[in-house]
Chains A and B, each alone.
Chain A
Amino acid sequence: MKKGLKSGVCSLTTPGNLVESNPNSNSNNGASAKEKDVISSSGELENVQLKPSRDASRKKLCGYLNKLGIKGPIKTWKSRWFFYDENKCNLLYYRTAQDINPLGSIDLSSASFDCKVENGEGVFEIRTPSRVFTLKAISNQAMMYWLQQLQMRRWEFLHSPVDQGRAQAGCGVDNEDFLPLVKTPTEAVGLKAASLPAPQTSTALQNISLKHPWTEIQNTVHNICGSKQLWGNNGNVFTFSEFQEHPENPDEEQEAEVEAGCGGRMDSRLNWVRKARWMNSGFPGLPEELSRERNPMDKVSVLQQQILTLTEEVKSQKELVKLLHKALEAAQQEKRVSSMYLTAAEDKDRLELVRHKVRQIADLSSRLEALEQEKKELEQILTLRDSHIQELKEHVQLLMEKNHAKQEVIMALTEQMAREQSDPLQEANTITVETLYKQQEEIEHLKDDIEAYKTQNQFLNSEIHQVTRLWTNVAENEKALLMKCACLQAQSCQMESKYLTVLRKLQEAVPGLPSSHAELVRNLIQEALQWDVKEKAEEGFNLNPVSEYDEYGFMTVPEYEVEDWKLLAKIQALEIKSNNLRSQEVVEKPLRDRWNSIGELSPSVELKSLIRSGIPVEHRQRVWRWIVSRHCSHQPDHYQRLLQQSKSTEHPACRQIELDLPRTLTNNKHFSSPTSQLIPKLRRVLLAFSWHNPAIGYCQGLNRLAAIALLVLEDEESAFWCLVHIVENLMPADYYSDTLITSQVDQRVFRDFLSEKLPRLMAHFEHYRIDVSLITFNWFLVVFVDSLVSDILLRVWDAFLYEGTKVIFRYALAIFKYNEEEILRIHDSVEIYQYLRFFTRMIMDGRKLMSIAFNDLNPFPMKLLKNRRSMHREELEAELCELEQIKAAYVKERAEQGPQNLKEAVSEEEEEI
């Protein structure tokens, strides 16, 4: 409904100039073609008058409207003639335009207007304080016209005393603000409309106002009277022009006619009544038409038509006159014959005449008969023809029917063909037509849905945004908390380790303490050593600062029986844990990321540095396998063949291997148990190696190397090849062979490096006669196994496997440098040895150690190492050779001198050398 109104308004606004051709209004009014001309001419007049001017207000506002009856059980629309009374600002309404007494009036000065679109087209209300009038114009346009006009009139009335021009202008402005002025719907309003029939189709009875019976009767009476006068007037052709001169004052005209009708013209009444009757039969409706005509052209055409009719009448009159002449002639001849008969004197003549007549009659009778005969024949022929015609008609009918049927078939076929040809389109069209409304409705629904979904989507987006932010916060918090937790754990570990250090110091001082204090210290130490167990039992989760075993099964706190060592081991474990926790985020994670990004392994500087930093547990096996496979050209069956060999033949080293198997990596859970799966594997690897390299066979220490290889690589064949790689590729020749000569050489080389890199420490050692090779020998032989804690050990091994023995030198030096200050503080040889015995286990910071090994000790040229090795090897071989000679000489001498001088001789020799 609203849309309808809007579009209506739009159409009102769009035509810029309503004066000019208005096909819409013309087509809308539905008037006859004749009336159109009249309207277009009068419409121009009225449109010109629409300009806001005094003339416009002068124009009378009147017209037919339907008024909704308020009384009575059934509310019905009644057609009323509405007329605006300027003087009183009242809208008067009549049953018809011709009525003189209004049925009622509406006081517009205190009225308000309202149009309720939902009520229907053209319905509007006039609200007065006392009553609401519901009126209906024939269209929305008419309604708007009425409303605007009413508004304007009300405005004029209320402002008339002051300044009408200004008010008019203001009114115009007002109207422009809201709605443009509506073109006068000429067919529905104005005086002209009065002559039109009431627009409503309802019967006259319905229009009769029951409310105003007296007025109704008055009006009816007046109408009857008035219509007689009018009829009479219209009939008078000569008064037509007079009538036309006063078209806008029908009431006055009527008054005038009534007076005229009642007065001077009464005498001539009979005359024009008869005439009019005659004319009425000839030209029905003409006076009415004429009465309405204003156009002279039309009048002429009407008159011409009249002339034509009259001319025809004259012609027919002339023919009639001719016929009458003929009849007159025949009568005169008859009269002549009769007079002759009467004048005949004699009977003979009379008889002759009679005979003549008889003959004549007979002749006529025969002629009549003949004619009748002829007539009969003709009738027969006629009937024949009729029947023939009938037959022909039937035939034609038949043919017509056939034709029709055929046409129908053709039509059907054509339709079918057309349908088939344009089937898809038509179908689509049909569907479109059929479902257009539905689809539109659906579209509306979908649009609503879209809106709803949009809202929902927006909400969800915001929700997602918010949740994401929350999540990020939580994640950050968690990260921070984890960091904090790690920090706290690290702190806790450090505190604990400090506490243990204090306890250790106290323990050392125990002998000097009072017995009660000593007891307390002992208890505290006991307690501290049992913490782990307790915590595990109570908490059972990984917040436990130090777990019992690491990922390779090494005990984090080796079971030393000496409490002193236990404390130290625990202190170290705690420190390592603390260090690891601290470096987790900063150091380990980026390294891990870099490792994860490495796909195919290939030798590079980057890989070298990565390996030096330590291979993450999850990558270690892969990398080790890769390193080993690079250096050992795998013979596929080699290991199996060696195993077969070791089964069939017992190697001399077998006894030593068996002896050492249960004593390998006793602090690792995978080897400490005699039933462990790794021990048989280790046996097979060592036996295979003893067959693989008979020159070495088995050397104590190889068991540890193979054990580490097994722990990391798991697969025994890989471990075997790893062992081969270490012994045959990495270590110099004769490192593990009978005399361990290159191992001893390396100790001398190491001493040189120690002097070079750590001269203060070396001086300190020399001052206290410390032979570091007593300590370092096994570092080199077993690559720090059982010396360094597993965490650091495996990092050393990573680099060692990739780079070779130089790594051992670097780390051995680094270990001393790491503890240099500590050692320099000790000024007793036994104390120093004591310290060196466990100081590798006191290394807490693997990263620091690594940094020393690979940065602080640079430069570390391989060439220097090689040179020193060859130099010391020569020296050592010379010494050994000399020793052999001395031995040989001694044996010879002893054989000559006899046993009693043995001791003296030996001492002498020693002094000499």
Chain B
Amino acid sequence: MMAIRELKVCLLGDTGVGKSSIVCRFVQDHFDHNISPTIGASFMTKTVPCGNELHKFLIWDTAGQERFHSLAPMYYRGSAAAVIVYDITKQDSFHTLKKWVKELKEHGPENIVMAIAGNKCDLSDIREVPMKDAKEYAESIGAIVVETSAKNAVNIEELFQGISRQIPPLDPHENGNNGAIKLGKQTSQTGRRCC
């Protein structure tokens, strides 16, 4: 039987860019135009196979409004990965994305895998953020970048598969829980600091 690795993933990004929709599409393979705005955070899980492992994503979806940023450390602490979402039709959301990257760099866990998702690629007609800008920025910070559409289920699976690939494989000398323990340790540390 394959080993299950629990990976904490948090979704960050400006309000209304589609964080919850991406999670909904990924976990439930469902899209709702008017999914309720996330207050605080919401939690979902999904298990996907990756190589000889099963990655169980523990996804923390956060609220996008700026005044909820102060809560973000609760969610991103101890995270193995962060999905930072922007709306390709809104330049502002790309700016917000940069802020989040900066915060993660400053206060986020060490070695956190960052994935940039340019959502609403189905609306490329009214695109404000060129693909090129996103790619360049992603390269500069060493992040995965992908344009997605939660509505049309474009690149959602790929996004998480990319994250899975970025997660370093387990140290052969340690058992499968090691990563989780390590993450847990970090969590407690950041917790003390931020909250």
A323 at the interface (CB under 8 A from B): no
Q: Taking the nearest CB of chain A, how far is it from the CB of B37, in angstroms?
A: 5
Contacts of A467 in B (CB 8 A): none
Known contacts being A700-B37, A774-B40, A911-B189, is A562 close to B15, with CB within 8 Å? no
Complex Cα–Cα for A773 and B75 (A): 11
B6 and A830 within 8 A (CB): yes
A774 and B35 within 8 A (CB): no
**Which stretch, B64-72, B123-131, B148-156, B171-179, touches the partner chain A?**
B64-72
A913 to B, closest residue via Cβ: B193
Which residues of chain A in 735-787 are interfacial with respect to chain B, using CB atoms and an 8 Å cutoff? 736-741, 744, 769, 771, 773-775, 777-778, 781-782, 786
Known contacts being A700-B15, A700-B65, A739-B67, is A774 close to B193, with CB within 8 Å? no
Contacts of B60 in A (CB 8 A): 774
Contacts of B64 in A (CB 8 A): 700
A663 and B36 within 8 A (CB): yes
Complex Cα–Cα for A773 and B60 (A): 13
A865 at the interface (CB under 8 A from B): no
Which residues of chain A in 663-686 are interfacial with respect to chain B, using CB atoms and an 8 Å cutoff? 663-666, 672
Complex Cα–Cα for A834 and B56 (A): 13
Known contacts being A663-B35, A769-B184, is A774 close to B74, with CB within 8 Å? yes
A14 at the interface (CB under 8 A from B): no
B161 at the interface (CB under 8 A from A): no
Contacts of A913 in B (CB 8 A): 189, 192-193
Contacts of A561 in B (CB 8 A): 24, 28-30, 32
**Residue among A738, A778, A911 facing the most chain B CB atoms (10 A cut-off):** A778
Q: Taking the nearest CB of chain B, how far is it from the CB of A751, in angstroms?
A: 11
Chain B 72-106 near chain A by CB (<8 Å), digits 1 or 0? 00110000000000000000000000000000011
Contacts of A887 in B (CB 8 A): 106
Complex Cα–Cα for A913 and B189 (A): 7
B63 at the interface (CB under 8 A from A): yes
A910 and B193 within 8 A (CB): yes
Range, interface on chain B: 35 or more
**Quick one: which of B16, B36, B45, B58 contacts A786, CB cutoff 8 A?**
B36
Known contacts being A656-B15, A887-B106, is A740 close to B34, with CB within 8 Å? no
B187 at the interface (CB under 8 A from A): yes
Which residues of chain B in 1-48 are interfacial with respect to chain A, using CB atoms and an 8 Å cutoff? 6, 15-16, 24, 27-30, 32-37, 39-45
Contacts of B166 in A (CB 8 A): none
A498 at the interface (CB under 8 A from B): no
B194 at the interface (CB under 8 A from A): yes
A662 to B, closest residue via Cβ: B34
Contacts of A777 in B (CB 8 A): 39-41, 71
Complex Cα–Cα for A906 and B112 (A): 13
A830 and B106 within 8 A (CB): no
B45 and A659 within 8 A (CB): no
Contacts of B34 in A (CB 8 A): 662-663, 666, 672
A834 and B36 within 8 A (CB): no
Could you count the A-B residue pairs with CB atoms below 8 Å apart for me: how many are there? 110
A699 at the interface (CB under 8 A from B): yes
**Quick one: which of B42, B184, B190 contacts A837, CB cutoff 8 A?**
B42
Contacts of B188 in A (CB 8 A): 769
Contacts of B30 in A (CB 8 A): 561-562
A737 to B, closest residue via Cβ: B67
Known contacts being A700-B65, A744-B70, A744-B71, is A778 close to B39, with CB within 8 Å? yes
Q: Taking the nearest CB of chain A, how far is it from the CB of B51, in angstroms?
A: 21
Known contacts being A774-B60, A833-B43, is A740 close to B193, with CB within 8 Å? no
A830 and B15 within 8 A (CB): no
Secondary structure of the A contact surface, majority rule: helix
A155 at the interface (CB under 8 A from B): no
A903 at the interface (CB under 8 A from B): yes
A890 at the interface (CB under 8 A from B): yes
Contacts of A775 in B (CB 8 A): 43
Complex Cα–Cα for A737 and B35 (A): 24
Contacts of A830 in B (CB 8 A): 6, 45, 56, 58
Q: Taking the nearest CB of chain B, how far is it from the CB of A584, in angstroms?
A: 32
Contacts of A736 in B (CB 8 A): 67
A834 and B43 within 8 A (CB): yes
A907 at the interface (CB under 8 A from B): yes
A834 and B189 within 8 A (CB): no
A907 and B63 within 8 A (CB): no
A883 at the interface (CB under 8 A from B): yes
A781 to B, closest residue via Cβ: B39
Which residues of chain A in 770-807 are interfacial with respect to chain B, using CB atoms and an 8 Å cutoff? 771, 773-775, 777-778, 781-782, 786
A890 and B106 within 8 A (CB): yes
A660 at the interface (CB under 8 A from B): yes
Contacts of B58 in A (CB 8 A): 830, 833
Contacts of A774 in B (CB 8 A): 40-41, 43, 60, 74-75
A138 at the interface (CB under 8 A from B): no
B139 at the interface (CB under 8 A from A): no
A232 at the interface (CB under 8 A from B): no
Complex Cα–Cα for A833 and B6 (A): 13
B136 at the interface (CB under 8 A from A): no
B110 at the interface (CB under 8 A from A): yes
B65 and A656 within 8 A (CB): yes
A902 at the interface (CB under 8 A from B): yes
A701 at the interface (CB under 8 A from B): yes
**Quick one: which of A740, A836, A890, A902 contacts B67, CB cutoff 8 A?**
A740
Which residues of chain A in 244-273 are interfacial with respect to chain B, using CB atoms and an 8 Å cutoff? none
Contacts of B105 in A (CB 8 A): 902-903, 906
**Residue among A736, A786, A910 facing the most chain B CB atoms (10 A cut-off):** A910
**Residue among B30, B74, B106 facing the most chain A CB atoms (10 A cut-off):** B106
Known contacts being A561-B28, A656-B15, A834-B45, is A699 close to B35, with CB within 8 Å? no
Q: Taking the nearest CB of chain B, how far is it from the CB of A885, in angstroms?
A: 12
Complex Cα–Cα for A256 and B141 (A): 183
B28 and A740 within 8 A (CB): no
B69 to A, closest residue via Cβ: A739
Chain A 849-887 near chain B by CB (<8 Å), digits 1 or 0? 000000000000000000000000000000100010001
**Residue among B184, B189, B195 facing the most chain A CB atoms (10 A cut-off):** B195
Contacts of B16 in A (CB 8 A): 656, 659
Q: Taking the nearest CB of chain B, how far is it from the CB of A551, in angstroms?
A: 21
Return 17 A-B CB contacts under 8 Å, by A number: A562-B27, A663-B37, A700-B64, A738-B67, A739-B70, A740-B68, A771-B74, A771-B191, A774-B41, A774-B43, A778-B40, A830-B6, A834-B45, A903-B110, A910-B189, A913-B192, A913-B193
Q: Which 3 A-B pairs have the closest CB atoms?
A: A561-B30, A777-B40, A778-B39
Assuming A561-B29, A769-B188, what are 15 further A-B pairs, CB within 8 angstroms?
A656-B16, A659-B37, A660-B37, A672-B34, A738-B67, A739-B70, A740-B67, A774-B40, A774-B75, A778-B40, A830-B6, A834-B43, A903-B110, A906-B105, A913-B192
- List B residues at the A interface (Cβ < 8 Å): 6, 15-16, 24, 27-30, 32-37, 39-45, 56, 58, 60, 63-65, 67-68, 70-71, 74-75, 105-107, 110, 184, 187-195
